[in-house]
């Protein structure tokens, strides 16, 4: 008899039977609540959600009998998992079978034998504890997922918890479009502005950027002050990844014009520049034990970043390949050959005028 602790609900209309059961259960170390019929039992279960570990249920009762009580318990998420022991005379095996079909855990023959009671209670409490552990675990996983989706891009949070997440995180190669965005005049502004003003402005800017990224299905790789890197076609496949990147940049440029007008009135002159490139990259978990990011590594990210730093206020600079791929949908103008830091050959870049 190893029962230690736990809370039992005894449901029986006979005062004598209740008294015997309560006494035996208390001897086993359980605390006991009592009900005279199914209606009272369901009221107790509703009033103490999660408190009752096992129910001992008589079949024949007024108001609401054992079958109806059992069915009502099994219909509710909050009570479905609580083990139910049917207390029944041996000559009523038919009703026991029906109760087990309705979801009862086991039955206790009357008159009650203390050793059988202890064995059944032990088994039921063990099952209930296992269930409780599982529920707590699921709750933790759910909470982690929610937290994760707050810190990471929604796509990456979903990837981490998906079945093929491990494989994708381990690293894969794919063609992506990378858009690098940052602000002209930000460093000078950061020197002059109050920290509060700086944070207000950055949060307006980030909110606008975040909305545009989400709307176009981009994967945010990182925010770094005024710099934002977004890529497309990973982890979710997007046929039109180049076009999506350009549409996003154009939408951002338009939104930015409104923000910049407000800031200008407060004496801050800020401009918005973007660099966009297409190419293959290795994507996956990048970092060291204790701190990893989901990142993209390849010439394409370097090219986008360098184009972004060459862009003047209001420019969206495309790599030659991006420009060629989108010639039919994007109107652009060549800006000449640019010498980019770290690249040996000059790059013929074009600025996006608008969508056709």
Partner 1 sequence: MMAATGGDLGFVRELVETYLADTPVQLEAMAAAVEADDAAALVRPAHTVKSSSASLGAMRLSMRARELEAAGRSGELGPADRAGLEAARSEWVAAADAINAWLDRASAR
| Residues of the shown chain interacting with partner 1 in the complex, contacts defined by CB under 8 A | 13-17, 19-20, 23-24, 27, 60-62, 89, 91, 110-114
CB of 8 to partner 1, least distance (A): 16
Judged by beta carbon, residue 17 or residue 214, the one nearer partner 1 is 17
Nearer to partner 1, 40 or 177 (CB): 40
Closest distance to partner 1 from the beta carbon of 34 (Å): 13
**What's the closest the beta carbon of residue 62 comes to partner 1, in angstroms?**
6
3-state SS, the chain, equals: CCCCCCEEEEECCCHHHHHHHHHHHHHCCCEEEEECCHHHHHHHHHHCCCCCCEEEEECCCCCCCHHHHHHHHHHCCCCCCCCEEEEEEHHHHHHHHHHHHCCCCEEEEECCCHHHHHHHHHHHHHHHHHHHHHHHHHHHHHHHHHHHHHHCCHHHHHHHCCCCHHHHHHCEEEEEEEEEEEEECHHHHHHHCCHHHHHHHHHHHHHHHHHHHHHHCCEEEEEECCEEEEEECCCCCCCCHHHHHHHHHHHHHHHHHHHHHHHHHCCCCCEEEEEEEEEEEEEEEEEECCEEEEEEECHHHHHHHHHHHHCCCCCEEECHHHHHHCCCCEEEEEEEEECCCCCCCCEEEEEEEEEC
| Closer to partner 1 by Cβ: residue 38 or 218 | 38
- Smallest distance, Å, CB 112 to partner 1? 7
Its sign, for the CA torsion 11, 15, 20, 26, is: positive
Measured from the CB atom, the residue of 15 and 126 that comes closer to partner 1 is: 15
CA-closest candidate to residue 277, choices 299, 300, 295:
300
| Residue number with CB closer to partner 1 (111 or 195) | 111
Which is nearer to partner 1, 92 or 175 (by Cβ)?
92
Cα–Cα distance list, 198 to 14, 141, 186, 326 (Å):
74, 36, 10, 37
| Closer to partner 1 by Cβ: residue 61 or 274 | 61
Task: Provide CB contacts within 8 A for 100, sequence distance 6+.
Answer: 86, 106, 107
Q: How far is the CB of 120 from partner 1 (least distance, A)?
A: 15
Cβ 7 to partner 1, closest distance in Å? 21
- Residue 58 to residues 6, 115, 353, Cα–Cα distance (Å): 20, 19, 79
Least distance between partner 1 and beta carbon 159 (Å): 60
Of 14 and 203, nearer to partner 1 (C-beta) is 14
Beta carbon of residue 101, minimum distance to partner 1 (angstroms, whole number): 20
Tokens of 84: 């139910």
Give the residue with the Cβ less far from partner 1, 91 or 328. Answer: 91
Least spacing, CB of residue 92 vs partner 1, in Å: 9
């Amino acid at each position: 008899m190893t029962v230690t602790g736990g809370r039992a609900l005894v449901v029986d209309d006979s005062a004598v039977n209740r008294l015997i059961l309560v006494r035996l259960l208390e001897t086993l170390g359980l605390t006991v609540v009592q009900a005279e019929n199914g209606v009272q039992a369901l009221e107790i279960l509703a009033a103490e959600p999660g408190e009752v570990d096992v129910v001992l249920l008589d079949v024949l009762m007024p108001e609401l009998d054992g079958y109806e009580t059992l069915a009502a318990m099994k219909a509710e998420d909050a009570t479905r998992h609580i083990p139910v022991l049917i207390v029944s005379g041996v000559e009523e095996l038919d009703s026991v079978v029906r109760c087990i079909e309705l979801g009862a855990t086991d039955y206790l023959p009357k008159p009650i034998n203390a050793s059988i009671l202890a064995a059944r209670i032990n088994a039921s409490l063990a099952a209930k504890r296992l269930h409780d552990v599982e529920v707590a675990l699921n709750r933790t996983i759910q909470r982690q997922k929610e937290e994760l989706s707050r810190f990471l891009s929604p796509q990456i949070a979903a990837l981490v918890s998906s079945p093929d997440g491990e494989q994708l995180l381990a690293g894969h190669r794919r063609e992506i479009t990378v858009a690098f965005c940052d602000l002209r005049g930000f460093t000078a502004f950061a020197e002059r502005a109050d920290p509060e003003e700086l944070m207000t402005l950055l949060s307006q800017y980030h909110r606008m950027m975040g909305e545009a990224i989400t709307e176009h299905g981009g994967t945010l790789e990182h925010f770094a002050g005024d710099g934002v890197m977004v890529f497309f076609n990973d982890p979710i496949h997007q046929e039109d990844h180049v076009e999506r990147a350009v549409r996003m940049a154009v939408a951002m440029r338009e939104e930015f014009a409104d923000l910049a007008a407000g800031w200008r009135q407060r004496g801050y002159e800020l401009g918005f520049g973007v660099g966009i490139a297409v190419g293959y990259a290795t994507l996956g978990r990048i970092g060291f034990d204790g701190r990893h990011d989901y990142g993209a590594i390849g010439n394409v990210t370097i090219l986008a970043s360098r184009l972004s730093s060459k862009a003047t206020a209001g420019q969206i600079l495309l790599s030659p390949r991006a420009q060629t791929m989108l010639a039919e949908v994007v109107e652009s103008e060549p800006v000449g050959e640019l010498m980019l830091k770290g690249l040996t050959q000059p790059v013929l870049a074009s600025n996006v005028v608008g969508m056709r």
